[in-house]
Amino acid sequence: GTPLHTAADANAVKAVAALLSPPCNADAELLMNNDTTALYLAAQHGYVEMVEALLANGAQPTPVMPMAAYRGDKFLQASGDQDPLASFVPNAEPGNGATPLHAAAENGHEKAALALI
């Protein structure tokens, strides 16, 4: 993972704020090797303050947006039978398109889930 992912996973809000600010200007949408964002990690652990900080700094609550930006239009074309827009829906089925909202809900983190909707 990246320093941003490590800090988000550890609930180090001040470190994330520093990484997202100048001169670092880390990308809040940066994906790890498994296509996980820092927001997903924070939501998975129920770190409400971290979720709010990441959202305030440009993190998107759905994985389609960063993947589409990262991989370009070819991602949307390659989705085949899987509807890439399904992850825009808060109650879409988890799986390859699992969102931070899914992670928060599956782990019983109501406050983190509410921060995402």
The whole-angstrom separation of Cα 50 and Cα 17 is 9
Q: What is the CATH number of domain 3-116?
A: 1.25.40.20
The whole-angstrom separation of Cα 6 and Cα 15 is 10
Return the pLDDT at 117: 85
Return the pLDDT at 72: 52
Q: DSSP secondary-structure letter at 61? A: S
The whole-angstrom separation of Cα 66 and Cα 59 is 9
Q: Where are the domains of the chain?
A: 3-116
Using a cut of 0.85, tell me whether the model's pTM lies above it: no
**pLDDT of 12-64, one tens digit each?**
999 999 999 999 999 988 888 777 889 999 999 999 999 999 999 988 887 55
Where do runs of H (alpha helix) occur along the chain?
A: 3-9, 13-20, 38-45, 48-56, 64-71, 73-78, 100-106, 110-116
**pLDDT of 63-92, one tens digit each?**
554 455 545 545 444 444 444 444 444 444
Cis before 23? omega within 30: yes
